[in-house]
Structure 1
Amino acid sequence: MNGYFQGGFNTYKLISYKEQLFMSKMNNNTVWVSPTAKKTECTLTISLLVSNSIATIRKCLESLRPLLEQVDSELIVVDTVGKDNSDGSLEISREYADKIVRFEWCDDFAAARNAGLKLAQGKWFLFIDDDEWFDNVDEFITFFKNSDESKKYNTLFFNKHNYQNLEGTSYGEIKVPQCIRLTKDMFFKGRVHEQLTVSRLPFKHINAFVHHYGYVGKLSKEKVERNEKLLKESLRENPQNMHMWAQLLAGYGIKTAENRKKVKKEAQAALKQFEQIQEKDNGLQRDGFTVLAYLLRVLMAEKEWLAALETKEKYEELLKLSQYEHCILDNLAYILFINLKNEKEATKYVLDYIKNYCWLQKHEEEYLNQESFYFQNDVSEAKLFGLSASLLSRERENENWQKILNTATKLPWANNVKYINRILAIVLLAAYHESDLKIMQTICDQITTNDGKLPLIFGIAVRALKESTEVDEKEFTSFVARIKSKDSFILIQQALVAEGTSVFEQKLKKLQKARVSCTVPNEELFSLLIRNKLDPTLHTESLSYEEWLAAVNQIVTIYAKKRSQIPAFAEQIEQVWNLCSKRELLLMSLRHNYLFSPDITTSEIKNELGAYADNVVNFAQMIYLPELLAGKTSSMLPSEIRFGIFVQRAVNERKAGHEAQYLANLRKGLEYYEAADRLIKRLLREYDEKDQKQQQINDEMVRLGSQVKVQILEMLQQGENQQAESLILELAQLLPNDLEVRRLWALCHRGV
């Protein structure tokens, strides 16, 4: 078969299989070299282990294509299965590869990696597997095209997403140093979970990441079992290899009692070996610490607190911990001492965690150098602020305001806005009690964005404290208003403080000029405008429905605590704000909260029910087609809208004096809105009681009437017609439709 075909970015001549291979021998590994492969040094060598991953190999290679096309590079494929056993992955990789080295699989990942490494001609070496693919390689391209940048660093870290489900919704993210400047002394070691023998500073971390589904589903169990077998074989050969011990423990995990039992047994055996090692280099120290941390986790999971404490104290002395490892141990020790009811010791470890973590943040290269993928969740901003929140919450209970502020000064507030929600209110409260505006100003300066805005969480925290009993609302508002900021929330606080003074109008103009909206957490502005009889349209018209709904919910929440003020507040709104959908949505929500309150009286229901129904119908008429609201109303409408329509009809019938229709519409409305069951049944019960009372009166009149009728008959029989006539007339007024009264009248006047 002769001719040419386009293979990825290379062009190959199609001849017989033996003829097309440029064969060479290298350490008993057969190497195929593309005719267009680079013969001299290049910038980057990419080494790819290929097994049988037909589902992902194309994704992997296509993700590398931009790198291979835009950077002076080569692709070396390490074939670990052979042509005869390949599922097609090898043929696909031939379209892209510069070199393919045949590696006879011998359960040794390091040896397989080294087979590719020995062929590398790049200044840099990047290695991945065929079940991984990059999401985007632009940052790699930028890095290698910038000669100053690529000369400055020796190791490039990128991210790996290790997925736990096929949907890709659950994964752990780790930083991996899988791109490194190539040196002659570099090689891989370790039969499984192989690692390079060198780790060279300086480091750089980029945000590029690879997807990795290698441990999902059935593959996970198979790989874990394979890894356990290889690791145990290696440990029998070298029982003091702490790296293998650490990998073995990581493979077990501690979720089940069975696995915890395994980890405990193996970790204790590993630490005995660790004690016997005389010279412990940094790598061995790190792996020894990993073993210790796993053992502590197991003991704590089994609630063996004293055993965990004894183990910690024994082995901590043998280890020279890095700042990163201090953080891991600080977190474990905090949990340990909390469960031992020793809050003083627990506090000490939180403060130590803060110190070490902040040091790591200031030393990015050291952070990367010290980082452990085993315990990444234990060393993070989330963990830092979680531990701090736990500490500050206890100090809040004890009203140790100054201790709270001392801790707050040590925390890295900048760039950590998403983690501060649990502690910001506590620090605000402490600053208020200590009258320490300086610390609040410092924190606000750190969390303010470049355009001068504070995060929403700041306003939410302030609003929460105002609604609590822990502060005097006016004093606290005045305290917050003293913060120097152009943020709209602070401007509102300043306007609230100025309300009723000569400078209020000036503050208000500032808000109007900035077109500050009433969205959360600025909803206080709305009440401020209404109190001062000002139309809020300017500050609400730009809000989306979702933004206004959030503001409505917050306003309703505030007024739910002062329910009696809702009717008056609603009337004030109607006086200054023209009819619009936003107005009606707020009014129906406020009145709903009022009417559905458990302690409302029947007279209060009657007073506000009509206004509530009008708000519901007005709102519906502005957003729904008229035909949906007519007649029986459309089933497409929300249940409360349908309820409101029938309540409005009921109220109108009551005004017209049509009680039967009034009751019928109330019952119809209740069919669509079960939440109104208690409300409507109270009104229906009132009418039922009224009917029962009338029925009792009617029954009594019938009883009395019967007695009078007997008396009239006796009078007629005795010829006392004139006296009987006056009684018949009185009885006719009481029982106007009674036929027997009419017959008595006829008897009385028969002979007349």
Structure 2
Amino acid sequence: MNNKPKTKLLTISLLCCGRPDTTERCLKSLMPIREAIDSEIQVIDTGCSKETRKIIEKYADEVFEFTWVKDFAAARNFQLDQANGKMFLYIDDDEWFLDTTYIIEFFKDPRCTEYNVGGYFQRNYLDFEGKEYEDTEVMRMCRVDPDVCFKGKIHEYIYPGCGNTMFMDARAGHFGYVYESEEENVKHSLRNIPLLIEMMDEEPDELRWPYQLAQEYKAIKYNKELLDLCTATYNKIADSKEEVDKKYRGSFACGIVIAMARLEMLDELMAFYEELKKKKNLFPLPMAKIAFYAAKVHFINDENDKCKAEIDYYLDVYEKVGKDIGLMFIQGGIFSNDTFNETNMNLMYCYAMTCGLRQGDYGPLVHYYRRITWNSKVVRLNRGFVMTLVAEAAKVGYKKEIRDVLNKFFTSEGFRNLLEKIIDEAVIDFDEEGLLNIKNAFKTTEGEKELNLFMDVRILEHQISSIESWDSFKQLLDILEAYAQLTVKWQRVHDSMFPSENPSFTLAQETKLGCDINDFIECESKDVPKALSYIKDMIGRRPVMNPAIGELADMYGRKQQLDALRAKNPVKFQEMYNLEEQILLQIAELDAAGQVDEAVATYQELIMAIKSTYGVETLHV
């Protein structure tokens, strides 16, 4: 209990346990507040190193030592008892404020002390580069009243957390939930889980603890445990009229659905969703999150009308709730706060466009493709949508509605590469007309030049794979040389389309095959072992080309055998070679005249003559 005279407007405090780099970044981010507001910075040392202690003393107004007792609430209450401010704001030492403008504005307003509690947004990064993140509201501010305290050995919270509330439009960056490995992630959660179970036993009616435990289970993919916990807790409060239970009920219902989806219990998921729709006991926000999963199930099952109905509901809730920060806070929870994040919104747009294409309706395509956040650092698109778009292009060729969407794939290198990868995987399903249609679909797009070459490679591969037999080694080598030149030309245009300050060009498999072919042509008459090694490298580069490469290997082997025979007696070999050509012409004439039996008999005599002399059936390759 803090009954100290208040000599400051604001106390900014943090617990510190010895991370020098993150601690200094945190403290530096507090300085604009410290300088602009009548405030103090207090740090509670729970076991810092000497290096970290020096950093703390450089920034803090006061430093207090606290012996760690494996109880965050105890440490926070000690922290709160030291405060000299009327208001109390805290942050963790592995966080830092990205911008303090709104915090300063709030505390400069004389009415700031009228608020009982409040907070800001924790920006949890999902990767070490900080490209992806989720913003979550965290209650980190309170008025320093005598009855205010913290509760909870872990995931501690301000009590009583009610009254006038203000969430400031400020973000605190946080990498604390990004781990080097899944083992580290599990290790972290397994440290927290026993404490949460212990608190559940101590306070069986406190929903906060199963709520936090569910979050831990989800993080480490303990899906069966997540399902059992959320089912038991949801059933406990399913018919409760208490407003707080309604908020928690949505989170546990979402937890059930998330677990079912991960466990591939899709029939059970849909049955539970139908039950929820009948009971009408959830806020619209968690229902929209569950509708997202229902839409995905219908999408997988090609149930387009049902999928569109769930999309319409989801987007309707977005308009009514998703754009209102207050409603999002009131109705949200750990499993529904991300309902309308960019990834989920983009996926729903993809589902809507795909369902339209499946039914021959381009309306959703025209309507929704502009809503996708093409220019974000990380954008996830549904592969089924891209595959459907490519299949439609193969069917109809150039069409402005398709062209406009395809053009968006040249917004970034990642989109372009995704598109090419999916086209490459799909070409086996298309005939030459379909491949030409895909090529034509890119007319007037920013990537027209590159995609023309990209498709020319696939069209030539299709043509090569369609040839059942080759007339000669030269014929095969000529078309492979043309293929090699085409792949190299495409690769150059591909690499130049998205120039980088630090280019790290990676050759595509078709280009590697083209380079192998060029290297083979360069040395096939000079260095047989090297030429054979290049053929070996070619196998598997492009599976569609394997039959032609196999034929190349076979013909090249026969060519080497004939070259060896020629070397023994060049004159005699040339005479027999010329004779074979003359007889082959005669056989062709007999066959053309309908004298098939005579042609076959003559051919068999020719084979026997060559075989008896050279041990092979033909001197041509």
- The AA in structure 2 aligned to 1:139 is D
The alignment's TM-score, normalised by the length of structure 2, stands at 0.62
Q: CA deviation at 1:291?
A: 1.8
Q: CA deviation at 1:330?
A: 1.0
* CA distance in 1 between partners of 2:461 and 2:267 (Å): 57
Correspondence 1:193 to 2:155: yes
The match for 1:664 is 526
- The AA in structure 2 aligned to 1:604 is Q
Match of 2:318 among 330, 354, 357: 357
Match of 1:560 among 446, 453, 457: 457
Tell me, yes or no, if the aligned pair for 2:519 and 2:534 is still in contact at 8 Å: no
* CA distance in 1 between partners of 2:270 and 2:63 (Å): 53
Correspondence 1:682 to 2:569: no
Tell me, yes or no, if the aligned pair for 1:322 and 1:370 is still in contact at 8 Å: yes
**Cα 1:103–1:214, aligned 2, differ >3 Å: closer, same or farther?**
farther
The match for 1:13 is none
Structure 1: unaligned runs, 5 residues or longer:
1-24, 32-37, 481-488, 494-519, 524-550, 566-592, 619-637, 651-662, 703-752
Alignment of 1:265-304 (within 5 A): 265-275=228-238, 277=240, 279-281=241-243, 283-304=244-265
The match for 2:201 is 236
Q: CA deviation at 1:175?
A: 2.5
- The AA in structure 1 aligned to 2:18 is S
* CA distance in 1 between partners of 2:469 and 2:48 (Å): 76
**Cα 1:411–1:359, aligned 2, differ >3 Å: closer, same or farther?**
farther
* CA distance in 2 between partners of 1:441 and 1:610 (Å): 33
Q: CA deviation at 1:288?
A: 1.9
- The AA in structure 1 aligned to 2:315 is I
Tell me, yes or no, if the aligned pair for 1:324 and 1:370 is still in contact at 8 Å: yes
The match for 2:367 is 409
* CA distance in 2 between partners of 1:614 and 1:303 (Å): 48
Higher relative contact order (CA 8 A, sep 6+): 2
The match for 1:46 is 12
The match for 1:8 is none
* CA distance in 2 between partners of 1:680 and 1:161 (Å): 56
Tell me, yes or no, if the aligned pair for 2:189 and 2:220 is still in contact at 8 Å: no
Structure 2: unaligned runs, 5 residues or longer:
490-511, 539-548, 577-621
* CA distance in 2 between partners of 1:98 and 1:557 (Å): 64
**Identity %, equivalent residues:** 16
Q: CA deviation at 1:248?
A: 1.7
Question: What is the CA deviation profile of residues 186-245 of structure 1, one whole-angstrom value per residue up to 9, with x for unaligned ones?
Answer: 654444312341486665544551332698889866764553344334333432322222
**Cα 1:671–1:322, aligned 2, differ >3 Å: closer, same or farther?**
same
The match for 1:521 is 447
Tell me, yes or no, if the aligned pair for 1:263 and 1:295 is still in contact at 8 Å: yes
Alignment of 1:206-245 (within 5 A): 206=170, 208-212=172-176, 224-225=189-190, 227-245=192-210
Q: CA deviation at 1:251?
A: 2.0
The SS at the match of 2:91 is strand
Correspondence 1:74 to 2:40: yes
Question: What is the CA deviation profile of residues 425-458 of structure 1, one whole-angstrom value per residue up to 9, with x for unaligned ones?
Answer: 867959x98x997x8899899x89xxxx977869
* CA distance in 1 between partners of 2:570 and 2:345 (Å): 74
The SS at the match of 1:139 is coil
- The AA in structure 1 aligned to 2:345 is L
Tell me, yes or no, if the aligned pair for 1:78 and 1:101 is still in contact at 8 Å: yes
- The AA in structure 1 aligned to 2:217 is Y
* CA distance in 1 between partners of 2:122 and 2:134 (Å): 7
Q: CA deviation at 1:75?
A: 1.3
**Cα 1:57–1:254, aligned 2, differ >3 Å: closer, same or farther?**
closer
Q: CA deviation at 1:48?
A: 0.6
- The AA in structure 2 aligned to 1:381 is E
Q: CA deviation at 1:139?
A: 1.6
Match of 2:99 among 139, 142, 153: 139
The match for 2:501 is none
Question: What is the CA deviation profile of residues 620-662 of structure 1, one whole-angstrom value per residue up to 9, with x for unaligned ones?
Answer: xxxxxxxxxxxxxxxxxx9977974784577xxxxxxxxxxxx
The SS at the match of 2:254 is helix
The match for 2:614 is none
Q: CA deviation at 1:521?
A: 0.4
Tell me, yes or no, if the aligned pair for 1:156 and 1:203 is still in contact at 8 Å: yes
Alignment of 1:479-498 (within 5 A): 492=444
* CA distance in 2 between partners of 1:199 and 1:242 (Å): 20
* CA distance in 2 between partners of 1:372 and 1:232 (Å): 20
Q: CA deviation at 1:683?
A: 4.7
**Cα 1:105–1:469, aligned 2, differ >3 Å: closer, same or farther?**
same
* CA distance in 2 between partners of 1:202 and 1:323 (Å): 23
Correspondence 1:126 to 2:76: no
* CA distance in 2 between partners of 1:264 and 1:616 (Å): 51
Tell me, yes or no, if the aligned pair for 1:143 and 1:149 is still in contact at 8 Å: no
* CA distance in 1 between partners of 2:153 and 2:217 (Å): 18
**Cα 1:151–1:210, aligned 2, differ >3 Å: closer, same or farther?**
farther
- The AA in structure 2 aligned to 1:290 is S
- The AA in structure 1 aligned to 2:99 is E
Tell me, yes or no, if the aligned pair for 1:139 and 1:207 is still in contact at 8 Å: yes
Alignment of 1:678-717 (within 5 A): 678=550, 679=552, 682-683=555-556, 685-686=558-559, 688-689=561-562, 692=565, 698=572
Tell me, yes or no, if the aligned pair for 2:436 and 2:459 is still in contact at 8 Å: no
**Cα 1:122–1:254, aligned 2, differ >3 Å: closer, same or farther?**
closer
The match for 1:576 is none
Q: CA deviation at 1:252?
A: 2.5
**Cα 1:560–1:596, aligned 2, differ >3 Å: closer, same or farther?**
farther
- The AA in structure 1 aligned to 2:40 is E
Select the structure of larger CA radius of gyration.
1
Match of 1:382 among 343, 350, 371: 343
**Cα 1:388–1:599, aligned 2, differ >3 Å: closer, same or farther?**
farther
* CA distance in 2 between partners of 1:360 and 1:411 (Å): 22
The match for 2:594 is none
Tell me, yes or no, if the aligned pair for 2:85 and 2:144 is still in contact at 8 Å: no
* CA distance in 1 between partners of 2:434 and 2:110 (Å): 60
The match for 1:750 is none
* CA distance in 2 between partners of 1:603 and 1:227 (Å): 71
Tell me, yes or no, if the aligned pair for 1:46 and 1:125 is still in contact at 8 Å: yes
The match for 1:161 is 124
Tell me, yes or no, if the aligned pair for 1:639 and 1:673 is still in contact at 8 Å: no
* CA distance in 2 between partners of 1:210 and 1:74 (Å): 23
* CA distance in 2 between partners of 1:66 and 1:376 (Å): 31
The alignment's TM-score, normalised by the length of structure 1, stands at 0.53
Correspondence 1:253 to 2:218: yes
Question: What is the CA deviation profile of residues 103-144 of structure 1, one whole-angstrom value per residue up to 9, with x for unaligned ones?
Answer: 6766553454344345545576432223x142xx4521x435
* CA distance in 2 between partners of 1:119 and 1:390 (Å): 54
The SS at the match of 1:47 is strand
Tell me, yes or no, if the aligned pair for 1:267 and 1:291 is still in contact at 8 Å: yes
**Cα 1:360–1:680, aligned 2, differ >3 Å: closer, same or farther?**
same
Q: CA deviation at 1:47?
A: 1.7
Tell me, yes or no, if the aligned pair for 2:186 and 2:220 is still in contact at 8 Å: no
* CA distance in 2 between partners of 1:341 and 1:415 (Å): 25
Tell me, yes or no, if the aligned pair for 1:160 and 1:212 is still in contact at 8 Å: no
